[in-house]
Amino acid sequence: MNDLLEQVLQGQIRAIARLITQVENSPAAAEQAIQALYPHTGNAHVVGLTGSPGAGKSTVVNALVKTLRQQEVRVGIIAVDPTSPFTGGALLGDRVRMRDLSGDPGVYIRSMASRGSLGGLARATASVIKVLDAAGFDYVLVETVGAGQAEVEIANAAHTTVVIEAPGMGDEIQSIKAGILEIADILVVNKADRPGADRTVRSLKMMLHLGPVGGTRQSGRISSPAAANPNGSASDGWNIPVLETVATEEKGMDALAEMLVKHMAHLRQSGEWLKREKERSWREVEMLLQQSFMSQFQASVPQDMRDTLLTAVAERKVDPYTAVHQLLEKTESKRKG
């Protein structure tokens, strides 16, 4: 193992920052780093925090980290903003807000924006989580904007998903539409100092009891209608709590921190922890498998052959199944040398 990785395992912040940059910029570097670090992962509690823009996610993260730091635990933070290809305004605002956390050696903050594909962002985030896990952070908090496939994929990497709402403006309805209630383990109504917070809490509780429109809640996952849960509890026995916070005044953070611990204990006791880890591992391996099949295929079948074949499919001279068989044969013969 090289020096940089050794320093990361010791939790040295500058080494962590350098390795993450390498991991983000080069898939080969990511592979090498993850292979070496993987045996040292599996200890961090990964918490996803998601919700509509402006709900107060960054402010909650900021306040929560202060509370967690009083318990002497180390916290890594990943702020993911897929809408900001060049680390735009939102992240700059986050950085200002989180300024009072910097300088604390028990805290590391990383902003990530998509450079290219959203799938790439999910992949990079998964690697960065592992680096922080191996570096010994007790918690890894991942802030994402709650919409779209990339965020759901990122949320899948979390043990506990916290969905943050704010009163008013039909947020509840929006999150149903976006399907993010379905991934919640803990619901937070932030901005509880604002009028209408009680109503938001009530309607969220009601929705948990009714179950979501067109699907069924199952802690952290969307399940089949057969597993319907009529009493607001996930099928694994976890009662999804609705908490109120005022992040700007750091109110409600003790309760939230406590609930994270409770949820973790629940995951461990119910066997759900291992189940989620297995599901996550399988998705990860599957994703890597797809990628390596694709690159093997691209490396072994020349571009012009692919073009010719696809044109033939478009012109109805070859059907798509036959095209796939031909491409696979070509890949296979190349692989055998």
Ligand X SMILES: Nc1nc2c(ncn2[C@@H]2O[C@H](COP(=O)(O)OP(=O)(O)O)[C@@H](O)[C@H]2O)c(=O)[nH]1
Q: Which residues bind Mg ion (CB under 5 A)?
A: 57-58
**Smallest separation (angstroms) from Mg ion to the CB of 56:** 8
Name which of 55 and 243 has its Cβ closer to ligand X: 55
Q: Are residues 216 and 227 in contact, defined by beta-carbon separation less than 8 angstroms?
A: yes
Name which of 53 and 214 has its Cβ closer to ligand X: 53
Q: What does 76 bind: Mg ion, ligand X, none (CB cut-off 5 to 8 Å by kind)?
A: none
**Smallest separation (angstroms) from ligand X to the CB of 246:** 4
Name which of 236 and 250 has its Cβ closer to ligand X: 250
Give the alpha-carbon dihedral of 17, 19, 22, 28, to 10 degrees: -160
Q: Contact residues for ligand X (CB under 6 A)?
A: 51, 53-59, 93, 190-191, 193-194, 246-248
Phi, psi at 14, each rounded to 5° = -65, -35
Name which of 58 and 219 has its Cβ closer to Mg ion: 58
**Smallest separation (angstroms) from ligand X to the CB of 253:** 11
**Smallest separation (angstroms) from Mg ion to the CB of 57:** 5
Phi, psi at 212, each rounded to 5° = -75, 165
d(CA 131, CA 121): 15
Q: Are residues 252 and 242 in contact, defined by beta-carbon separation less than 8 angstroms?
A: no
**Smallest separation (angstroms) from ligand X to the CB of 16:** 23
Q: What is the DSSP letter of 192?
A: T
Q: Which residue has the tokens 């976890």?
A: 238
Q: What does 193 bind: Mg ion, ligand X, none (CB cut-off 5 to 8 Å by kind)?
A: ligand X
d(CA 326, CA 272): 43
Name which of 53 and 170 has its Cβ closer to ligand X: 53
The partner residues of 45 in beta bridges, in order of sequence, read 139
